[in-house]
Amino acid sequence: MHLDLTGRTALITGASRGLGAAIAQAYARAGADLILWGRDERALKTQAARLQPTGRRILTQRVDVTQPAQVRQALRFALRQFRRIDILVNNAGIWGGDPALTLDRRTWDQVLTTDLTSVFFLSQAVARSMVKRGYGKIINLASTAGVMAIPHGAAYASAKAALMHLTKVLAVEWGPHGIRVTGIAPGVFRTDMTRDLYEDRRWMKRRLAELPLRRFGEPEDLHGLAVFLASSASDHITGQTILIDGGASLTT
């Protein structure tokens, strides 16, 4: 019963593919209605069609989270349609990996804006509506890059480390209003963002040998944790970012 999301509405950014699509699938199966945001309208429609058999209400919106005007307009429309947002999953993000010596200002700004700044301002906007109801769940998709030093990760890892700390700050400020703020920090899961890595057989062989569980993460591995953090089963948890990486961060 505690893992049932029936009657709740979840807004998921970056929901057209990868981890965002996996979380949307898990929430629909658990009973939640969905607001799916992404930049690829066709992919969003495809994702919504896959979820139709669950019988949930699904709204897809083409939104670039780095564009404040788009965010405001889409959020107003979504709230008119669903009246409230119970769960916000901040999943949209980009990699932008370059060596620190050649990383340019444009890439740095793009990564920080997408992976950190947009998360804060969308969370702020959604939290205002949650405060009125005295309840809400905000889940930030961080990364093990936020706790591990990885080559070419100056911008991405800095954004994710900051996001993990922002999760704590927002949990402290918004906890008195009944809003729980938590994070999920995946390792290197198989997604579009990591496709190049998984095409490198030498990297795969070396990395697999380092993983205590001896297997890579798949998007479906997020289902249980994502539903748990969105549900009443985790109502006494806030400010925590949970690593889900097959033990990779234990040995690296």
| 50 contacts 28 by C-beta, under 8 angstroms | no
Give residue 206's identity as a one-letter amino acid code.
R
Sign of the four-CA dihedral 58, 59, 60, 66: negative
| pLDDT bracket for residue 204 (50, 70, 90) | confident
Averaged pLDDT score across all residues of the chain: 93
Give pTM, 2 decimals. 0.94
pLDDT tens by residue, 150-185:
889 999 999 999 999 999 999 999 999 999 999 999
Q: Which residues are catalytic?
A: 156
pLDDT of residue 230: 98
For residue 142, pLDDT over 90 is answered with: yes
For residue 225, pLDDT over 90 is answered with: yes
pLDDT of residue 155: 96
pLDDT of residue 194: 65
- Chosen CATH of 9-245 out of 1.10.3720.10, 3.30.1130.10, 3.20.20.70, 3.40.50.720: 3.40.50.720
| pLDDT bracket for residue 78 (50, 70, 90) | very high
Provide, rounded to the nearest whole percent, the portion of the chain with pLDDT above 70: 95
For residue 30, pLDDT over 70 is answered with: yes
pLDDT of residue 190: 74
pLDDT of residue 135: 97
Q: Who has greater pLDDT, 70 or 208?
A: 70
For residue 15, pLDDT over 80 is answered with: yes
pLDDT tens by residue, 35-75:
999 999 999 999 999 999 999 999 999 999 999 999 999 99
| 86 contacts 10 by C-beta, under 8 angstroms | yes
For residue 114, pLDDT over 90 is answered with: yes
Helices (H) and strands (E) in the chain, counts: 10, 7
Q: Which is nearest to 130 in space by CA: 86, 167, 88?
A: 86
Beta-carbon contacts of residue 90 (< 8 Å; ≥ 6 apart): 13, 119, 122, 123, 138, 139, 140, 141
